Each structure stands twice: as C-alpha cells, then as structure tokens.
Amino acid sequence: MTIAEITRGRLRPPVLGALTVALAAAGVAACGGEDASDAPGGESGDREISVAVVGNPQMEDIAALTPELFTADTGITVNYTILEEQNLREIVTRDVGAGGEQFDVVMIGMYEAPQFGANGWLADLDEYAESDEDYDVDDIIPAVRSGLSTDEGLWAAPFYAESSFLMYREDLLEAAGQTMPDAPTWEEVAEIARAVDSDDVAGICLRGKPGWGDLGASFTTVLNTFGGTWWAANDDGSIGEAQVDQPEFAEALNFYVDLVNDAGQDDAANASFNECLSLYLDGRVAMWYDATVAAGLLEAEDSAVAGLNGYALAPVAETDASGWLWAWALAIPENAPDPGTSWEYVSWATSRQYIEAAGEELSGGWAAVPPGTRQSTYDNPEYQEAAAAFADRTLDAMLAAPIDDPGTTPRPGLPGVQFVGVPEFQDVGTRCTEQFSAAIAGGVSVDDALAACQEIASEVSS
C-alpha cells in the first residue's frame, strides 16, 4: 500500500485517544525575529494554531512550557493534539496527503519528511529559516538537516534527533559479575541479559508493540546487522523481491523473539519507548536498547536512576554499525492557512533559544533538554556538565549510524536505517510487526509470522 492509498481511506480510522491541550496567554512581542503584526498571514494577537505531536516526554514538556515561553510573547494560542506514535503517523499521513487543514503544524520524522516534501505536501522551510536572522539554520547538525531535506528544500525542522544505543545499569551488571563492552555484539548482550535476568528485574527491555516505528524500528536495526533486509532493490532503486523468507531474516527474528521471551520484560508485546522508559526508571529492567534521547531522561535531576547508568553503542552481528538515525521534526502542511504564524511557532520550538530556556525551566534540568539537533547544545558548558554521561556517546552513535549503507544488501528507496525509505513500508512494516508482536506474545509461531510477512511484503514487489 502506498501513502496515496492510505490517504484515500484504505486504513481503518484509528482510535484517537488524544490529549488536546489548549494553551493561551496574552502578549505583544514576536518570536523568530519579526514583529507579530508583520508576520505573513497573521495579525498581532488573537492568533491560534493546531499542532499534532507524538506523546513522548519532551513533547509533553514543550506543551507545558508554551504558555509562558511562547504564547505570552506572541499572543498565539497553541492547541496541542498529543498522540501515540502509530496514531500520529496514520492521522498525519491521511490528513496532510489528502490536502486537509486539520493541523497548522505536524510532527513527522526522517521517513516522512523527504517523501512528503517530494509529493508537494509540505511548505519548504528553507525560505523561512534563511530569512529568520535569529533561527541560525547552519547551527543544525548537518546529518540531521540532510535527513529532513531533499535537493528541493528543508521539509521539517528538528525538535530532537537521536540514534539508538544500549543503556544499562552498571550496578546491576556488576552485582551479577557482568561487564558490558563499549561496542558489544548482540550475542554478548544476550548472554549478559540472561545472566542478570531475575524474577524482580528483567535482563533487557525491547520494543514489542506493533508498528513500523515501534517494534519495526528496533527490530530492523537487528535485521540489518544480521545481514537481512525487507526487499531486494531493483537496478532503478525500486522495490524488488521480498526477502522475508531468507535465512538472515529468520535468524534475526528468532534471535529477537527468543531474547525477549528468555530475558525480556513482562507483556513485551505491548511495550515500546514509553513503556520501557517507565520500567527502566522504576528499576525493573537492567538493560534497554532504544533511542539515545532516553539518556537525558535517565540522567535528569529528578530521575531515580541518575548516575547509575552506562551507555554502549548499538549492538552488532555481521556489520560494524547498527544504530538508527532519526529526528522528530515539525513541518508545515502546504495548505496551512497561515504559514507565517505556523513558522513563528516552528522557529521557536526548534530554536537554540528554546533549548536554553528548557534547560532552565525543566525539572530535569539541562540533561533533559531536546538533544541531537544543534551543535550549540553540545558546545554549551551547562549541557556538557549535565549530560557528561551520554552526550559524547550520543554524537558518536549518530555519526556511526549507517544511513547510506545500513546492512549487507542494497535496499530500495531513500536512505534510512530503521526503516526502508519507500512509501509502501509504512503499511507493510506495520502489518508485519503485528505478526512479529503476536510471535513475541506466543499467539503464533515465528515460522508462521515469517510466512505471513513474506506474503505481505510480496504484495508490493515488482
């Protein structure tokens, strides 16, 4: 299924479960280097925008800080719709792709931004960023800016960026007589996880919730480094034959399912980032493989596990690198009724100034600010001190992410690590991970899940 087909309603409408936060205050000064009365498409005061974001802690932070730090200065009311990851993707894809005007600003990632931009669904932010003297677009880390761009323009501004790595409790591993290498293999990680696993503390937390960006993200990095891939690539870069029935794919999925069942968290089939974060903060897992952005939450001033953690590069098998590269970023739909006002918000939310303000205002302090987007964050002495445990390792992981060569086999579409950069992956990845999640839960065998996924992936082969 293509993105265009999704927008024509072939996916069942999701249950929203959204938290909508209306934030309002009064003010006169503009954000983003121009007076509010001069902003394109908007007038001073009494302006209002709707913003769809993913339900992660950093986005909940900005929703809480918006009235004081943004609305009071601009007079712009921001209505947030905070959605679970999979719901956000389906709703935004359908609405933006169909030319809808439900949102003035949407949160998307490195998978969607180049494709949506190439389809003409988004406003080019280059013209806004380059004319905004306060924004400093050149401060954005080049790999992140590139991942959100095509030759035609910058399609989304990064709110935070990340790779993936292994987080672990140094004290729990030491108590079990285990030592984590700085650059471990998956076999080493599995051995350690099984050694530290107990009735009270799981050896490792891994994503198991269906969704191409949930279970699909972490599993695809494992698949890459085991030497497997979703599809072969035709000479023109289009989707070739499905590769789910190949030995490397089976080896990767069997490894993943066995590790979760042997040493993973309870109810793993319903766990993704937020669930693993909660378990780790509560001391109920010894290791966690996931997004580097989590480290700022683990080391925050109000974290119960601050100072107890070690960080290792994403585990490998047949390749030298496996960590992903991702950014949650803010985009303006092409049909947004007031793109000037939308940009005022995007400019503020993704600015150096917001990061600095968040460092002062957040209960977690500087360690909890949105990471990975701006070089100035990593040059800031306060951030260097607060994030000393993980900042350098995060940058190392991002630089090591093999975005142009993610495995051992050429792949179709645009560059990507934890996803295949073709529109069809959104549907295929989600449907297949439903099968994989069922295998984790014991509802189907791994062999049956693989067979079903091979059929699903073959539907779009050419």
Task: Sketch the domain layout of the chain as residue ranges.
Answer: 3-162+326-388, 164-323+405-458
**Looking at residue 15, what is its pLDDT?**
28
Would strands 76-83 and 47-54 be described as parallel, antiparallel, or unpaired?
Answer: parallel
CATH topology agreement for domains 3-162+326-388 and 164-323+405-458: yes
**Looking at residue 10, what is its pLDDT?**
25
Which positions ≥6 away from 54 have C-beta within 8 Å? 82, 83, 84, 85, 88, 107, 328
CATH match of 3-162+326-388 with 3.40.50.1820: no
Q: Which of 262, 215, 240 minimizes the C-alpha distance to 438? A: 215
Q: Which of 459, 421, 454 minimizes the C-alpha distance to 233? A: 421
pTM of the full structure: 0.87
* Cα–Cα distance list, 85 to 22, 51, 56, 103 (Å): 21, 15, 9, 16
**Looking at residue 284, what is its pLDDT?**
98
Q: How many C-beta neighbours within 10 Å does residue 170 have?
A: 16
**Looking at residue 397, what is its pLDDT?**
92
Tokens (6 digits) for 209: 């919730």
**Looking at residue 29, what is its pLDDT?**
27
CATH match of 164-323+405-458 with 3.40.190.10: yes
**Looking at residue 45, what is its pLDDT?**
56
Which stretches of the chain score pLDDT less than 50?
A: 1-44
